[in-house]
Structure 1
Amino acid sequence: MSISLPRHRSRQPDPDAGSLPVIWTVSVSRLTGLLGDVIPEFDRRARIVPINLGFEEAVDVIGQRLRREHCDVVIAGGSNAAYLRSRLEVPLVPIQANGFDLMEALARARRIAPRIGLVTHATDVPTFGSFQHSFGLDIEHRRFVTREDARDCIADMRANGIEVIVGTGMAIDHAEQVGLPGVLLYSADSVRQAFEHALELTQTLARVGAPSPRRRLPARRRDADHALLGDSAAMQQVRDRIALYAPHDSTVLVTGATGTGKELVARQLHGSSGRRGRFVALNCGAISESLLEAELFGYTEGAFTGARRGGRVGLVEAADGGTLFLDEIGELPLPLQTRLLRVLEEREVLRVGATEPTPVDVRVVAATLQTLESLVDAQRFRRDLYYRLAALRIALPTLHERRDDVPLLLEHFFTLLAGTPSPLAAAALQRLCDYAWPGNVRELRNMVDRLRIHWPHGRGELSLAQMQAWLPELASVPTAPRAAADAMPGGVAQRAAARPGNDTLQQLLDDHGGNREQVAALLGVSRTTLWRWLRSTTE
């Protein structure tokens, strides 16, 4: 068992090679030679490492190398790609034959013999009926899943008088072992397209901030910053739900007010799931509808004016093998809700401008601070998509509903951000425990960040008066009795239903010094929704 080095490694290395994405190609048989012909065209855009192995051997070697080396994307073809997809911790881009590849391969095979057998993996099913009819070709098509299936297909075709095999590298190997000539289905163009796809995938993951070994924070800091803390019964129930739901592939709907930690729940669901792909997040309310479709589903070259050469990988494909987190799912436009439903039901994605879908293995976790049931009743959200997303549900409490956790959270964020225990005097701590927390845990974290800048480590105890001087919102947002807060079902998150009048909106803005984030949190809506409301007051 060996790993071959790229044939072009004798070239002078690019001085910026350390910043290039890293692509590993995995192949056996004829595909190895085809990859070797194309790799030199991309060696200035990526660091490419060929691994000439397949299946179990490839998985073992790649797993060992990933412990000491970095890889952004793996490229493989046919059954090898299907086998590796669910067994690797890095994204995989398959080499896929297109219609021109098929026509060219069948034309070459026809020059060898009239009776042609086409053998493809089950995930690679080209459309060739019209071509076969137009050119009067005698073609028998078989699909295989395992190596044994491929061997049986070839043997059966040979017994039925097939004279030449068109197919994947594995199919051709089996054909030649029984004395049949073989024609490789893939072309240099299909390999080039796979490299372009892989390069685009690395750019997409970098754009959405998906973690990569080269960009990871130190383990302790990252884990601490993503911790879901709290000793309250409500938070223990949330952690129990995460542990129960994480191993399953069912979609999860996370509900809660702004700043309660919905993305943290999604990350913990992913981290405990055992899924090997990436965690990819998208805020559905932060991107205009015209751009959201391409961002989520990707597009092909020439799909619309301005579409980049080679197309673009969408976030659904970028999350293949992992988890796609869709925040503010209630803001997703109705036409895109239909497309998302197809992804969930068919496990495939159709890029904008494409005619053939791409299979994906992705788990979707959606989050909302709105009441989706009311959106369904208002015909702003598809009922069937709502039921599909809400297969499993996790409801997050507001910080107001678990104020006993405030001291623990303060201690955590002071240690995380300032590297010191909390310097708060007893009166200052009590004031924060009594605070209404309209922005929930996110607001608490931001307050601690501000305090640690104004009150450097070593300055002693931080008094109530000093704290209030740097946190003026403590005066503008009054405390609320615990009984009153507890009487509100679902806390702040349930007060999101109706749009206040223009005068009320303006008064809230004035009361909070124009701070839209605080006003949105108080109303239980996203900042995008508040912005839309405010814009309508001027129209």
Structure 2
Amino acid sequence: MSIRLPRPRLPDPDPGALPVIWTVSVSRLTGLLGDVIPEFDRRARIVPINLGFEEAVDVIGQRLRREHCDVVIAGGSNAAYLRSRLEVPLVPIQANGFDLMEALARARRIAPRIGLVTHASDVPSFNSFQHSFGLDIEHRRFVTREDARDCIADLRANGIEVIVGTGMAIDHAEQVGLPGVLLYSADSVRHAFEHALELTQTLARSGATLPRRRVAGARRAERPLLLGDSAPMQDVRERIALYAPHDSTVLVTGATGTGKELVARQLHASSGRSGRFVALNCGAISESLLEAELFGYTEGAFTGARRGGRVGLVEAADGGTLFLDEIGELPLPLQTRLLRVLEEREVLRVGATEPTPVDVRVVAATLQALESLVQAQRFRRDLYYRLAALRIALPTLQERPQDVPELLEHFFQQLGQRASPLDAEATQQLCAYAWPGNVRELRNLVDRLRIHWPLQAGALGVAQLRSWLPELQQALPTAAGAAPALPAIATRPSPAVLQQWLDDHQGNREQLATRLGVSRTTLWRWLRVTG
């Protein structure tokens, strides 16, 4: 005799960890959404908003001041109206060919003369189906509510007996006594949810953020900081303030570690654009993966393509800003596709035949001289001119040494210290350093000092800098004519540091061993292991 044990119940997911999706609908679509939402309630926190147009915009705007939302889902004319008026990404419910055939088949069972009424942004192809099955169909497109009402009146006057269309079209049809068949199906709603979930994952992978004013509470993105009162940094801030309100592309140039992404984030935060900030390093992904990551793909586009396809970062940045770092590393074939996005304001997914319109501002960054890449025919000249419509050149930290004290204070506070523990002499010595890694190098050195400082009582002086920051040796002068002091140590330094010290002593191993406080045998062993 066997005993059947009850199946263990899966634990409910943490609601705080789930993406938040708001659905906006009226009329028939509300019921269809209600049928599908239970299939996704373990993968997202779904909030229905049964309103449309102006009312939906007002309510969503009020709720966003106190609540968080990742994506909005809506259909038809409602989606078209909301897209440019919301401060979060929107995924439209779109009818596919199977939806259309099924709706027309249902309508044909009601009456032979069919009117198809769709929003201008949602026009399915049905000509071949109409001719193959000998259907008598008249198609009308609308933009506003008044357009939809006029379309229905015109079709009714022309003897149309049944309407296939969006929820608004069906409402108007039924008001004048015509039966209606909803164009959308449960599958089209499911696809919209899958698209929305994929979009939240894409945004999470890219580190996308919303401008600060758009999201209330702890999840709000901090406004980026560009520190420094030097003349070069004041010029950078003035350019950002001048360029931010415009949609023109911006090319940010500067050496590594100067803060190119920070400038891009500041441009986005000051732009008033309603979408997200999405970043991609063009040099960090192989060409084969970069195309799908940037432009997305359709289901079945290639072997291994995921079911339902995938949203690209261009689409994910719709309404916002796309930051392309190391743009000089973008392969030539993808440069052509990016140029099309910039010129046509539309993106074509890999494997797709119809482009998707996008409203995206592109900010590109490079530490290379793109002009030389153009001359070498490694970068498209037309794309270069398109990207460099506006330019911001970032100064190196060596070019603005007066900003080092403020940066030190900021980074120490950021890492939990109330103020910089460095004394005046140590701070002055850091201002004299060349900083080949720029602000990023300074941030990393502050992190190292923060870890060492609890072992030291009082302020940090030059002696501690020499001990804990050996890469600064050449920048920290001692008495005139004296060789730089080195810390007495008992463990082998890193190969790079040891070789630097040896170079500083012109290869004199005996002198180096004396200054390190180790025997020549120990130094010889260190050098042998290093070599």
- The two structures have a TM-score, normalised by structure 2, of 0.84
* AA of the residue aligned to 1:274: G
CA distance in 1, matches of 2:165, 2:380: 42
Correspondence for 2:266: 268
**Residue 372 of structure 1 is aligned with which of 349, 370, 374?**
370
Decide whether aligned partners of structure 1 residues 509 and 372 sit closer, same or farther in structure 2, where only a CA change above 3 A counts.
farther
Correspondence for 2:208: 210
**Residue 435 of structure 1 is aligned with which of 425, 433, 436?**
433
Decide whether aligned partners of structure 1 residues 477 and 304 sit closer, same or farther in structure 2, where only a CA change above 3 A counts.
farther
CA distance in 2, matches of 1:512, 1:76: 65
1:40-439 alignment to 2 at 5 Å? 40-211=38-209, 222-223=222-223, 226-439=224-437
Instruction: Let me know the Cα RMSD of the aligned residues.
Output: 2.6
Contact 1:257/1:398, CA 8 A, preserved across alignment? yes
Structure 1: tracts of 5 or more residues without a match: 1-10, 480-505, 514-539
Correspondence for 1:28: 26
TM-superposed CA distance for 1:467, in Å, is 0.9
TM-superposed CA distance for 1:142, in Å, is 2.1
SS at match of 2:139: strand
Q: How many pairs were matched up? A: 473
TM-superposed CA distance for 1:364, in Å, is 1.0
Decide whether aligned partners of structure 1 residues 304 and 477 sit closer, same or farther in structure 2, where only a CA change above 3 A counts.
farther
The structure with the larger Rg is 2
Residue identity over aligned pairs, in percent, reads 86
- Which one is further off, 71-80 or 346-355? 346-355
TM-superposed CA distance for 1:425, in Å, is 2.2
CA distance in 2, matches of 1:69, 1:13: 25
* AA of the residue aligned to 2:389: A
SS at match of 1:292: helix
SS at match of 1:455: helix
CA distance in 2, matches of 1:137, 1:41: 35
1:461-476 alignment to 2 at 5 Å? 461-475=459-473
Contact 1:210/1:280, CA 8 A, preserved across alignment? yes
CA distance in 2, matches of 1:269, 1:509: 43
- Which one is further off, 138-147 or 240-249? 138-147
CA distance in 2, matches of 1:28, 1:423: 61
CA distance in 2, matches of 1:12, 1:148: 50
Contact 1:420/1:457, CA 8 A, preserved across alignment? no
Contact 1:26/1:50, CA 8 A, preserved across alignment? yes
CA distance in 2, matches of 1:150, 1:120: 8
CA distance in 1, matches of 2:383, 2:141: 33
Decide whether aligned partners of structure 1 residues 509 and 61 sit closer, same or farther in structure 2, where only a CA change above 3 A counts.
farther
* AA of the residue aligned to 1:389: L
Structure 2: tracts of 5 or more residues without a match: 1-8, 478-494, 503-531
CA distance in 2, matches of 1:181, 1:214: 44
* AA of the residue aligned to 1:313: V
SS at match of 1:456: helix
CA distance in 1, matches of 2:94, 2:356: 10
TM-superposed CA distance for 1:115, in Å, is 2.6
Decide whether aligned partners of structure 1 residues 262 and 167 sit closer, same or farther in structure 2, where only a CA change above 3 A counts.
same
Contact 2:423/2:459, CA 8 A, preserved across alignment? yes
TM-superposed CA distance for 1:439, in Å, is 0.9
TM-superposed CA distance for 1:368, in Å, is 0.8
Deviations 1:23-68 (A, max 9, x none): 1111001111111111111122222111110011111111222222
Deviations 1:4-32 (A, max 9, x none): xxxxxxx9993533322221111001111
SS at match of 2:32: helix
Contact 2:103/2:181, CA 8 A, preserved across alignment? yes
Contact 1:119/1:166, CA 8 A, preserved across alignment? yes
Contact 2:66/2:217, CA 8 A, preserved across alignment? no
Greater than 4 Å deviation, 4+ residue runs: 212-219, 476-479, 506-513
SS at match of 1:282: strand
* AA of the residue aligned to 1:273: S
SS at match of 1:326: strand
TM-superposed CA distance for 1:217, in Å, is 6.5
CA distance in 1, matches of 2:40, 2:272: 33
Contact 1:473/1:512, CA 8 A, preserved across alignment? no
Decide whether aligned partners of structure 1 residues 477 and 314 sit closer, same or farther in structure 2, where only a CA change above 3 A counts.
farther
CA distance in 1, matches of 2:150, 2:455: 72
Correspondence for 2:6: none
CA distance in 1, matches of 2:18, 2:234: 43
CA distance in 2, matches of 1:24, 1:278: 17
Decide whether aligned partners of structure 1 residues 471 and 69 sit closer, same or farther in structure 2, where only a CA change above 3 A counts.
same
Contact 2:67/2:216, CA 8 A, preserved across alignment? no
Deviations 1:436-488 (A, max 9, x none): 11111111111111111111399322111211211111126799xxxxxxxxx
CA distance in 2, matches of 1:349, 1:18: 33
Contact 1:436/1:478, CA 8 A, preserved across alignment? no
TM-superposed CA distance for 1:76, in Å, is 0.4
**Residue 446 of structure 1 is aligned with which of 444, 447, 451?**
444
* AA of the residue aligned to 1:472: P
Decide whether aligned partners of structure 1 residues 458 and 89 sit closer, same or farther in structure 2, where only a CA change above 3 A counts.
farther
Deviations 1:215-242 (A, max 9, x none): 95787xx44xx31011111111111111
TM-superposed CA distance for 1:420, in Å, is 2.2
TM-superposed CA distance for 1:509, in Å, is 12
CA distance in 1, matches of 2:183, 2:139: 13
CA distance in 2, matches of 1:101, 1:512: 73
Decide whether aligned partners of structure 1 residues 236 and 331 sit closer, same or farther in structure 2, where only a CA change above 3 A counts.
same
CA distance in 2, matches of 1:94, 1:512: 63
SS at match of 1:83: helix
Decide whether aligned partners of structure 1 residues 12 and 32 sit closer, same or farther in structure 2, where only a CA change above 3 A counts.
farther
Decide whether aligned partners of structure 1 residues 394 and 355 sit closer, same or farther in structure 2, where only a CA change above 3 A counts.
same
Deviations 1:304-357 (A, max 9, x none): 222222222111111111111111111111111111112112222222222222
Contact 2:315/2:358, CA 8 A, preserved across alignment? yes
Decide whether aligned partners of structure 1 residues 217 and 167 sit closer, same or farther in structure 2, where only a CA change above 3 A counts.
closer
Residues 1:19 and 2:17 are matched in the alignment: yes
Decide whether aligned partners of structure 1 residues 407 and 16 sit closer, same or farther in structure 2, where only a CA change above 3 A counts.
closer
- The two structures have a TM-score, normalised by structure 1, of 0.83
Contact 1:476/1:511, CA 8 A, preserved across alignment? no
* AA of the residue aligned to 1:229: L
CA distance in 1, matches of 2:501, 2:145: 67
